[in-house]
Structure 1
Amino acid sequence: MQPICINGRFGDVFRGIHKTKGEVALKRLRIGGAGMDEEVIRRFEREADTWRRLKHPHVLEFLGTYKPEAHIYFVSPFAKNGTLLEYVSARPGINRVRLLWETSDAVDYLHRENVVHGDIKASNLLISDNGHVLLCDFGLAKPTHAQTSTALKGAGTLRWQSPELWNNEPRSFGSDVYAFAMTIVEMMTGKHPYHETKNSALITVRIVGGSTPEPKPAPRDWPNGLLDLVRKCWVVEPKDRPDACTLLASLNATPTLVRRCCMPPVEHFGLMVRAS
């Protein structure tokens, strides 16, 4: 494996060479101590079981697992174009509506398969070699009929979480839709939600209180209808939010967007890339 590492919530990602698949990414789950091993293995098996059955053009392909002594890895294609924000930051004229549509297509597919992703955000959206979205990181994904462990209730990334998750409600299709709207704002502005607030407790208060990171004044360079769609995804009651199929149809009807201004620099929130 090459010594390039991305540090994420539950593991580290390395680049390697597979003898038949070529360049691949290996996600290594972190193992805290002897007492954590059983929980880590359960999480690994749950993610593998969910991911391996997902087959879609906009879902990162599952290539298998690798279990050398003392470590466990997921193997997937290596996305050299990086994350969604990295990709659009380097391409100010890219059609962002297409990328959002592809993301909603992946989310709609998961929901039709009765799978809740649980952690939708731009850093969990990779870009394929031919420039298409690939939804990844299924560490919090679960079938809708599955029980949610106490350890994972409320899990996810703070700034993308919907208010009901703070009432100990399980992640749902509705919480995925809420996070997708956060991702729209993230991609269109180049900044993570609530970027002006650094204190986690204050962010939590804002989320629970119904304060959303809506851009103000309303951006003139957003396509007609996109901000209204975001607002609908942010309503307090999950059942009143549009479903993923509606998001897909709405984005399909959204005027094509080619931004004329430069994208702000990417802010690597919650993700550190380093070479060792």
Structure 2
Amino acid sequence: MGILLKLNHPNINPLLGMFRDDEGYHMVSPWLENGSVHSCILNDVSFDGVKVLLGIAEALLYLRQNGVVHGDLKLDNVLLSLNGDAKLIDFGLAKILRLNSATSTSMKGAGTVAWQAPEILNGDPRSTETDVWAFGMVVVEYLTRKPPFWDAKDSGTIVTRIILKKDRPSRGDVDLEYAPKCWQELWDLASRCWSQKPSDRPEMKYIVDYLTEVQEKQNAQTS
């Protein structure tokens, strides 16, 4: 709760207040009629995917600059405003990073398996690098219109595929009917986010710059 109160970024849905009733405490944030980006995909609501991904990346960069790890990134935790902006929500797993460290030791376990980095599945803490991994899976979710490892029968199978088989999403699952022309550039970025070694994953600043360039190219082609 304290974390969310301190955050102020156009791509993070703000906390307006809270109240308590018989069921417990409840947070109050602006209502966005479009709902989550995930629900927009399910309901065929059109949106600019590059703009959404860039907004998510900018929100994550802001979190990194303020020493915060989100910890549960997926399109179900990103709302879409009426003007098509991404609004990051659900900071239930978010933690402040330890001083002079990029890791929070209190953030083991929990989260949605298909979006989690191998080091988390091995029991290590969440970090800025695990948010980068999850961002790569969000790109996959957008381009394929399916959850990562959608064909796995259960969570245990996903863990085995990620840790033991070092499996990664397949480029062949991209839904070309809906994917933007720049989908290969987006996929290439995502694949860098899945590096087995956390230190080999790109920094969020690089991701923001990369997507900004992709968006500028896309806008030039449509103008």
- Aligned counterparts, 1:213-224, within 5 A: 213-216=169-172, 221=179, 222-223=181-182, 224=184
SS of residue paired to 2:202: coil
Aligned structure 1 segments of 4 or more residues deviating by more than 3 angstroms: 146-149, 217-222
Deviation at 1:70, TM superposition (A): 4.6
Question: Could you say which residue in structure 1 is the equivalent of 2:168?
Answer: 212
Deviation at 1:65, TM superposition (A): 1.4
* Alignment root-mean-square deviation, CA: 1.9
CA contact (8 A) 1:95 1:256 kept: no
Measured in 1, the distance between the counterparts of 2:59 and 2:124 equals 24
Q: Deviations over 1:167-220 (max 9, x none)?
A: 221100000000011001101111001111122211110111310113227776
CA contact (8 A) 2:108 2:124 kept: yes
SS of residue paired to 2:27: strand
Question: Could you say which residue in structure 2 is the equivalent of 1:79?
Answer: 32
Alpha-carbon spacing, 1:140–1:217, altered in 2? closer, same or farther (3 Å): closer
The structure with the largest alpha-carbon Rg is 1
Question: Could you say which residue in structure 1 is the equivalent of 2:60?
Answer: 107
Q: Determine whether 1:143 maps to 2:99.
A: no
CA contact (8 A) 2:71 2:131 kept: yes
Letter in 2 for 1:90: D
Question: Could you say which residue in structure 2 is the equivalent of 1:256?
Answer: 218
Measured in 1, the distance between the counterparts of 2:173 and 2:53 equals 22
- Once the two structures are aligned, what percentage of the paired residues are identical? 36
> Aligned pairs, how many?
207
Deviation at 1:130, TM superposition (A): 2.7
Deviation at 1:122, TM superposition (A): 0.3
Greater shift in the superposed pair: 127-136 or 153-162: 127-136
Question: Could you say which residue in structure 2 is the equivalent of 1:227?
Answer: 187
Measured in 2, the distance between the counterparts of 1:208 and 1:231 equals 16
Q: Which has the higher contact order (CA 8 A, sep 6+)?
A: 1
Q: Determine whether 1:130 maps to 2:83.
A: yes
- Structure 1, unaligned runs of 5 or more: 1-47, 258-276
Alpha-carbon spacing, 1:131–1:199, altered in 2? closer, same or farther (3 Å): same
Question: Could you say which residue in structure 1 is the equivalent of 2:205?
Answer: 245
Measured in 2, the distance between the counterparts of 1:127 and 1:219 equals 21
Q: Deviations over 1:66-85 (max 9, x none)?
A: 12245111111111111113
Measured in 2, the distance between the counterparts of 1:193 and 1:249 equals 25
Measured in 2, the distance between the counterparts of 1:218 and 1:190 equals 8
Greater shift in the superposed pair: 234-243 or 124-133: 124-133
| TM norm structure 2 | 0.86
CA contact (8 A) 2:143 2:175 kept: no
Q: Deviations over 1:207-237 (max 9, x none)?
A: 1131011322777655142221111100011
CA contact (8 A) 1:58 1:132 kept: yes
Letter in 2 for 1:256: Q
CA contact (8 A) 2:72 2:93 kept: yes
Deviation at 1:148, TM superposition (A): 3.7
Question: Could you say which residue in structure 2 is the equivalent of 1:158?
Answer: 113
Deviation at 1:86, TM superposition (A): 2.4
Measured in 2, the distance between the counterparts of 1:99 and 1:109 equals 15
| TM norm structure 1 | 0.70
Question: Could you say which residue in structure 1 is the equivalent of 2:144?
Answer: 189
